Structure 1
């Protein structure tokens, strides 16, 4: 009866019949007000920790007939986000807050079946046991707590006519991001007592983390630590550190307060020892050791220096939080942003935080000639074409095995190459040009573009299925003109240049800082960095000065009328906009194309603007 059904669906149908579920007349189990609130309260910390991840997932489906649902471990829906008309149709079958979607109530469905199977699953159309649910396509993935217990189910449901196989991958990626966030959140809470005392612990949240009691027995750990130890979370909890490390537990955690020592991991593979560094913190109130285990740090390359910059811009912080949360997952990521806004930096952050052992390779899809793109990406066999190397050549996919491949300017990729790329992403095998042997590759894909890909899809220049495959997670990078942290970024670039030029320090005077912060930066971070570098050369090399002045900033665009406003022009422009909006800061900042923080800072610079609101009120009273 199920020739085309997947085995889990078939088995779920059999269970549904055994449970006595009626296909033609579904029975509903709806929570009362107090019961629903209790179940929602049980997941309050989950929602607080993952709110931005769930919001991002919802926004990805907002314009389509889909809704995002979270159920608890008993299949009761505790939260649902959706918009008409689909949300109204969903309510007709009680796909809504308070309803129980266990298999014993609703038969085969994504939520109940995912709970039973303990793994992600999609249930589309007539795969649902109850006929009234045949209009649905549902995709669900379980979310586990840091201690390995089933916490809840994340589900995306929509019209069966809108079914797309990549949707389940997006749900799985979001679920994995939620799990990573929960682990890091709990670990961060455990380390709170140490944060003000030792900055070494501040930026290590994506390394393997574990906690042990005073006897050296593991009380909790994250998935990275479990992977490092070679067992599941449940198998590790309750076991002593000595099961995995050659050193005795007392030796590892020998010092009070803070300790840092190298330890050797007992290897199960070829008797190979792996060296790790352990930082341990003693909480005198709870008598718990919180161990942070990380690889011995290596010297960073110049390409990794930018990762040390901590952005003060809220939009950028949000983008980086998403990047770091999804880094441990295998989800593909699409980074959207203007040219020069730092998409490559975010891509490298994902790679560095993800724990992959292979290299980080970059391919600029817009810079390669069309006839060379496929050979560059997928490689070629000897004699594949005129001018080919005699021995053939591996492509970027093979070279990036076990690492990350950053496909910059993906919107420039020709349609023919898009088709081949999609096949490689789906099959995880690459076949060189002129060859016939598929070669397995394990590559994390991060793509970036400054184009609006949905618009390109409508134009027919970009494949929709490739877009969905690349966009399991989307990160938007704000342009520099919308960021509030330009002064901090300038100081960071000055530190870089001081190190490069072997100067004790380099300092930008107030007029120079004002000149840089007033410019609109069409070239974004890349342009700013280049301007700062040139100014440092002008001051330190030509003038032999460590103090950089406005005259050292030699940028022709800043002297053009449309590029750089003199102070009286800026003051006049801001005043006109404030008067137009009746001093509404949000509306004014939008019209000026700057952030609220930047506008407040500029208002404080000019005496005539500080009391503008009072002046306008006095004028209004006189009328």
Structure 2
């Protein structure tokens, strides 16, 4: 209690203008908390986790950043494994949109706010590493009693900003401990690691967004120029600055005597404004020359080593319209339906990235086909291993996934068995119907994803694995999380990105899908009568593409003369005759009375517009 009182008194002294031994960034943050945010140091503020819906919005808005940052976060987490650090990636509002920590301490981490969805804005939590970093725009450590709120004083948190290519602060990378040594200097290594990781994430983002432009990377030493550059800028064909990393902004500002915080005054300026260098000189700074010879002089006299990366050939056309430029496996998923075109373009961007993807969609929409297409569109050399979590008995799924050593249990193979996770090493593990995985196994899977290692049943030592995880479910996993039937931490580990397949009844390329299936089952020698096509079009397809595939297979087997007629179709998709005629007449009458106004017809019938549209389609209106 006395420590709490002393902490409050120190903050009050700072309010009154008294001296303090704290870092200036801490003092400035305390003053903002007091004057701008009107926070009371005597009023405890527990850690705040945003509601599920808000977290989903924050993650969707940060999806591209999460995808790019994930590799850097995992690499950093491996460096600090076993030291009880937690990694948070927070967005511009201070909400943690990604998280890496030991699942064994989830309850403690959540209570302390070192968890997915925690809001660490300064206005919400007082002085903290994420909030202070967002305000200051620079890397810093908020150690124990540096925190404004006494609730957070056990924590030691270090954060570094991540800037977009336009110079705007996009996110904060935070590395924290629930408890740490008293000395603040103990976190110097953490400060170095988090700053280096943020720099690499910025560089990866700049490279990803400027493939078709010149990129100039800088280092103080030639030995690190090609392997770990300190800064980078992108340059257009006319020699003007297009984008930059945080380090790049500092170099340009120093060279021209400007302010690195005003990136808008740096972007658009010609390269010669900052360096004794023009765009025509860039080819001489590529890897064709030794690193020691790639020297540039800034306008302030500063000497740097530089590496110029040539632009890739720019493809013609927009991403959505260029279906022919999609990888073949992804192109084969749709025939021009707008929702499928958007999904295909999005999947093409995600396929080569290591980000885990959750595929959602009703049963039979083609989730496994999409998963395989994502694998084939990646650069992974390992196998594609699919696991149907709903099809394997609960008593066997642990051994199937993790494998076992010889004699691990009664009936175990004498030589042991490699599990499916290990079989996917270097490739893709597709977990179909992940919502049906038992809770106990969810915890084990979470550890595999966090630690990148798997321990077979009966083994004493783990084995390293590197797998790209895709998962799918026809169930609403968010609802399962709310009901306590699916682990929240695993849910967010699996869906850094989400792809949702539309149901067949809502797709505008139904005829394209039908024709592909007829071609597959008929080998190019099968046709379909117009009446049979209309009957298939009118069906609601609750089983989606899988149900349509079965219907075409049956019709192909029954038809004569190479033409599918309505009589060849399954009974449940054949026209209903007089009953349908009566429904058609009734609906037509309501539509006529409403002057064709669908909304008014829906109100009179007590239905929604979508249902009315569906009935009109089925009845040929």
Deviations 1:151-205 (A, max 9, x none): 441589xxxxxxxxxxxxxxxxxxx999999988x77xxxxxxxxxxxxxxxxxx
- Distance in 2, Cα, partners of 1:448 & 1:150: 37
Q: Structure 1 residue aligned with 2:584, among 571, 596, 614?
A: 571
Q: Is the 8 A contact 2:361 2:501 kept in 1?
A: yes
Q: Which runs of 5+ in 2 are unaligned?
A: 4-21, 39-49, 63-89, 96-120, 174-199, 218-225, 236-281, 290-310, 317-324
Distance 1:438-1:78 versus aligned 2 partners, 3 A rule: closer
Q: Structure 1 residue aligned with 2:367, among 320, 334, 343?
A: 343
Q: Structure 2 residue aligned with 1:549, among 561, 564, 567?
A: 564
Distance 1:370-1:178 versus aligned 2 partners, 3 A rule: farther
Pairwise CA RMSD? 5.6
- Distance in 1, Cα, partners of 2:388 & 2:533: 33
- Distance in 1, Cα, partners of 2:458 & 2:352: 35
Structure 1 counterpart of 2:528: 508
- Distance in 2, Cα, partners of 1:448 & 1:362: 11
Structure 2 counterpart of 1:39: none
Q: Is the 8 A contact 2:389 2:432 kept in 1?
A: yes
- Distance in 1, Cα, partners of 2:520 & 2:201: 33
Q: Structure 2 residue aligned with 1:373, among 389, 397, 401?
A: 397
Q: Is the 8 A contact 1:518 1:565 kept in 2?
A: no
- Distance in 2, Cα, partners of 1:523 & 1:245: 58
Q: Is the 8 A contact 1:532 1:553 kept in 2?
A: no
- Distance in 2, Cα, partners of 1:17 & 1:155: 17
1:308 aligns with 2:332: yes
1:110 aligns with 2:123: no
Deviations 1:267-306 (A, max 9, x none): xxxxxxxxxxx995699xxxxxxxxxxxxx9xx9xxx757
1:483 aligns with 2:507: yes
Shift of 1:375: 0.9
Give the TM-score, by structure 1 length. Answer: 0.53
Structure 2 counterpart of 1:396: 420
The total of aligned residue pairs comes to: 425
Q: Is the 8 A contact 1:143 1:150 kept in 2?
A: no
Q: Is the 8 A contact 1:218 1:241 kept in 2?
A: no
Q: Is the 8 A contact 1:26 1:130 kept in 2?
A: no
Shift of 1:428: 2.1
Mapping 1:129-168, distance limit 5 Å: 129=148, 145=164, 148=165, 150-154=167-171
Structure 2 counterpart of 1:518: 538
- Distance in 2, Cα, partners of 1:529 & 1:139: 55
1:412 aligns with 2:436: yes
| Greater mean alpha carbon deviation, residues 352-361 or residues 409-418 | 352-361
Deviations 1:413-471 (A, max 9, x none): 22222222222223222100010111122222222222233444455443343333333
Deviations 1:328-368 (A, max 9, x none): 44433332322111221232343334433322211001111
| Greater mean alpha carbon deviation, residues 528-537 or residues 571-580 | 571-580
- Distance in 2, Cα, partners of 1:556 & 1:534: 11
Q: Is the 8 A contact 1:23 1:129 kept in 2?
A: no
Q: Which runs of 5+ in 1 are unaligned?
A: 2-12, 30-57, 81-100, 157-175, 188-209, 221-228, 247-277, 284-296, 607-623
Q: Is the 8 A contact 2:433 2:471 kept in 1?
A: yes
Structure 1 counterpart of 2:273: none
- Distance in 1, Cα, partners of 2:474 & 2:462: 32
Q: Is the 8 A contact 1:115 1:153 kept in 2?
A: no
Deviations 1:472-511 (A, max 9, x none): 334333322222221121123334446xx2x3x6443321
- Distance in 2, Cα, partners of 1:396 & 1:379: 7
1:16 aligns with 2:17: no
SS at structure 2 position matched to 1:420: helix
SS at structure 2 position matched to 1:348: helix
Q: Is the 8 A contact 1:382 1:391 kept in 2?
A: yes
- Distance in 2, Cα, partners of 1:233 & 1:513: 62
Q: Is the 8 A contact 1:323 1:475 kept in 2?
A: yes
Q: Structure 1 residue aligned with 2:472, among 448, 454, 461?
A: 448
- Distance in 2, Cα, partners of 1:319 & 1:383: 47
Distance 1:305-1:107 versus aligned 2 partners, 3 A rule: closer
Mapping 1:178-257, distance limit 5 Å: 210-211=211-212, 240=283, 243=286
| Greater mean alpha carbon deviation, residues 524-533 or residues 370-379 | 524-533
Q: Is the 8 A contact 2:360 2:500 kept in 1?
A: yes
1:558 aligns with 2:577: no
Shift of 1:109: 4.8
SS at structure 1 position matched to 2:486: coil
- Distance in 2, Cα, partners of 1:315 & 1:387: 49
Give the TM-score, by structure 2 length. Answer: 0.54
Q: Structure 1 residue aligned with 2:451, among 420, 427, 433?
A: 427
- Distance in 2, Cα, partners of 1:475 & 1:331: 12
Structure 2 counterpart of 1:470: 494
1:357 aligns with 2:381: yes
Q: Structure 2 residue aligned with 1:61, among 50, 53, 57?
A: 53
Shift of 1:386: 2.9
- Distance in 2, Cα, partners of 1:177 & 1:569: 63
Q: Is the 8 A contact 1:142 1:150 kept in 2?
A: no
SS at structure 2 position matched to 1:417: helix
Structure 2 counterpart of 1:529: 549
SS at structure 1 position matched to 2:34: coil
Q: Is the 8 A contact 1:456 1:462 kept in 2?
A: yes
